[in-house]
Chains A and B, each alone.
Chain A
Amino acid sequence: EAQVTQNPRYLITVTGKKLTVTCSQNMNHEYMSWYRQDPGLGLRQIYYSMNVEVTDKGDVPEGYKVSRKEKRNFPLILESPSPNQTSLYFCASSLESARGTEAFFGQGTRLTVV
C-alpha cells in the first residue's frame, strides 16, 4: 500500500531535549516536505527536498533541521525544542514536485514541548 509513515504519532518532550520525527515513503517519490499546522494559520511549510541531498527552506525553517540521505526518508530534527514548536506536524511526498503531481501526506505527529 502506498503510504507516508511518520513516527511517532504523539510526543511530549521538554524544552531543549533534541528530538527527531521520522518520515518514510514507499512510492519512490523525489519530492518530500514537512509542514506544521497551527490554529488559524493553516499549514506552513518548514523544509522541502527535491531529491537526495537537495533540501531547501520553506516558510518557517527556524529551529528545524532536515536531511535527505536516502530517497525514502526525510527526518525532521529539532535540536533544541521550545514551547513555540508545539504543533501538529505533517510530512508529505510527491512524485517529482509539489506542482502538477498529487502530494501524499502522513497521518501527522502531534508534538508538545513543555
Chain B
Amino acid sequence: DQQVKQNSPSLSVQEGRISILNCDYTNSMFDYFLWYKKYPAEGPTFLISISSIKDKNEDGRFTVFLNKSAKHLSLHIVPSQPGDSAVYFCAAMSQTSYDKVIFGPGTSLSVIP
C-alpha cells in the first residue's frame, strides 16, 4: 500500500502556463516533504522541500503548497518552460523513522512549446 501517491502518471501543459503536480499521502506522521525532478538517463535532482510547520515554500518559479488536514501537497511551476519536461517525484519523511524517505511513483510532465 503506497503511502505517497501521485495519481496523475502524466501531465501536459503549454509553455508559459502553470503546471500543477499533486501528491497525496496517508501517513499522518509525515512531517517533511520533498520534490525531485528526473530527466531520462540521469539521477533525480532535488527541487524544493517543505516542513509540516509551513504551508508554503517558494523558490523562483517553483512553489510547494502543503495542506496537512487534507494530507495533500502540490508543486506549482510558473511559468512552465520546455526544460521543465521531466518526471517529478514527491517524497515524504516521518518523525518516527527520522531519515527514511518514501517516494511517490512520479508524474511525467511535458511542457509543449
Contacts and interface: CB of A to CB of B under 8 A. Distances in A.
Contacts of B103: 35, 42-45
A105 B99 contact: no
A35 B102 CA distance: 10
A106 B43 contact: yes
B89 A43 contact: yes
B46 A103 contact: yes
Interface string A56-99: 10110000000000000000000000000000001010000111
A105 B32 CA distance: 19
Interface string B17-61: 000000000000000101010000111111001010000000000
A45 B43 contact: no
For this complex, into which size category does the number of interface residues on chain A fall? 20 to 34
B43 A92 contact: yes
A102 B46 contact: yes
A105 B45 CA distance: 7
A83 B46 CA distance: 30
B93 interface: yes
A41 B105 contact: yes
A107 B40 CA distance: 10
A33 B44 contact: no
Interface in B69-111: 89, 91, 93, 98-106
A56 B49 CA distance: 23
Contact of B105 (A42, A50, A97, A99): A42
A33 B43 contact: no
Given A42-B105, A43-B89, A107-B41, A97 B46 contact: no
Closest 3 CB pairs of A and B: A105-B43, A43-B103, A42-B105
Given A45-B100, A97-B99, 8 more contacts: A41-B2, A42-B4, A43-B44, A45-B102, A50-B99, A92-B43, A98-B99, A103-B46
Interface of B: 2, 4, 6, 32, 34, 36, 41-46, 49, 51, 89, 91, 93, 98-106
